[in-house]
Amino acid sequence: MSVFTEANRKAFDDLASSYDSKPWQITLSNQVASALRARKPQLGLRATAEPAHVRLLDYASGTGAVTRALGESVSCVRAIDISANMVARYNAAAREAGVSEEQAFAVEGDLFAAEVAEALTAPQWYNFDVAVVALGFHHFEDPALAVKRLAERLVAATGVLAVVDFLPFEHEPGAQMQETIRQHGFTSAGLERVFKAGGLEDFKFEVLSEPAVLEDREGRKKERRVFIATGRKAPTVWGKLAGWVGGLQDGVGGQMAMRPDQSGGGMFMPRKDAS
């Protein structure tokens, strides 16, 4: 673990006991949750509350805000955070809510380390339908590596990565948590380059209409603009080939199914399986 990542781990360990307890934190968490729920189709999730077999990776999960927001629309959640105290709070809250470990649990870990822990290379930590990082991306030491590593965990051709974070904001020397911030916000163009380099396509970037209001230790308020960026994992080479062959077959099949109407009207009959 790098010195910077260790500083983040310690800072969030210290914050865990009071995390999401202040009114402004609760409001911000609700803003993010509402924005995610409103964009379920963009995330590849059904709009209804009935979940299909959909797996969510809640990365930099904290106490589970993303899991609470989307839990009803997925069948399985696996969460990762570098803070052991955050992980403990996540799991305790899940069990208290009656959510089983099979449905959702969190582990301490770092997918961006030079050597990822062997436990995180097990099959259960791959082939996610959606991965979400909410308000943690500006704490990542290497955003390009983060996107690449998270994309590797998604289902090819359909898996979606969603990042909720801030537009560029001012650096505030001496302010709380400043030593744990690597990127002071992101632009659409900059993040799109990172997503494409990480193997994601269909990039979308939307700024929320309502700004976030944060407070420092002295209660001083500051506003930041929040965005949601999404990208879909590109197909594998074999997946692209299968799609190309399938497209050719559909085209040939469509032509073979068209024939002159025997009634003499000159119209073409649709395929029998056409809707």
Query: What's the number of CA atoms in the CB half-sphere (13 Å) around residue 47?
Result: 4
Indicate if 96 and 197 belong to the same structural domain. yes
**What is the residue type of 23?**
P
What number of residues does the chain have? 275
> What does the alpha-carbon distance between residue 268 and residue 275 come to, in Å, rounded to a whole number?
15
> What does the alpha-carbon distance between residue 106 and residue 63 come to, in Å, rounded to a whole number?
9
pLDDT at 174: 57
- Confidence bin at 268 (pLDDT 50/70/90): very low
Indicate if 91 and 117 belong to the same structural domain. yes
| Number of domains the chain contains | 2
DSSP annotation string for the chain: --HHHHHHHHHHHHHGGGTT-SHHHHHHHHHHHHHHHHTTGGGT--SSS---S-EEEEET-TTTHHHHHHGGG-SEEEEEES-HHHHHHHHHHHHHTT--TTTEEEEE--TTSSS--GGGGSGGGS-BSEEEEES-GGG-S-HHHHHHHHHHTBPTTT-EEEEEEE------TTSTTGGG-S-S---HHHHHHHHHHTTEEEEEEEE-SSPEEEE-TT--EEEE-EEEEEEEEPPPHHHHHHHHHHHHHHHHHHHHH--B-TTTT-PBPPPTT--
Indicate if 222 and 248 belong to the same structural domain. no
**85: its two tokens:** 């105290």
**Could you list the residue range(s) of the whole structural domain that residue 197 is in?**
3-234
Indicate if 177 and 254 belong to the same structural domain. no
**pLDDT exceeds 50 at position 263:** no
**pLDDT exceeds 60 at position 118:** yes
pTM: 0.84
More confident residue, 241 or 19: 19
Q: What is the CATH number of the domain that holds 101?
A: 3.40.50.150
Q: For 66-93, how does the pLDDT look when each residue is reduced to its tens digit (9 = 90+)?
A: 999 999 999 999 999 999 999 999 999 9
Indicate if 274 and 225 belong to the same structural domain. no
Indicate if 74 and 90 belong to the same structural domain. yes
Q: For 126-141, how does the pLDDT look when each residue is reduced to its tens digit (9 = 90+)?
A: 999 999 999 999 999 9
Contact in structure between 206 and 124 (CB atoms under 8 Å): no
249: number of Cβ within 10 Å: 10
Indicate if 157 and 204 belong to the same structural domain. yes
Indicate if 267 and 219 belong to the same structural domain. no
Residue 150, Cβ density class (10 Å: 0-12 exposed, 13-18 middle, ≥19 buried): buried
**pLDDT exceeds 60 at position 260:** no
Indicate if 67 and 151 belong to the same structural domain. yes
> What does the alpha-carbon distance between residue 27 and residue 261 come to, in Å, rounded to a whole number?
64
Indicate if 11 and 103 belong to the same structural domain. yes
Indicate if 250 and 137 belong to the same structural domain. no
**pLDDT exceeds 70 at position 176:** no
> What does the alpha-carbon distance between residue 200 and residue 183 come to, in Å, rounded to a whole number?
21
Indicate if 162 and 253 belong to the same structural domain. no
Q: What mean pLDDT is predicted for residues 170-196?
A: 87
pLDDT at 48: 61
The dihedral region occupied by 157, where left means phi > 0, alpha psi between -120 and 50, and beta the remainder, is: left
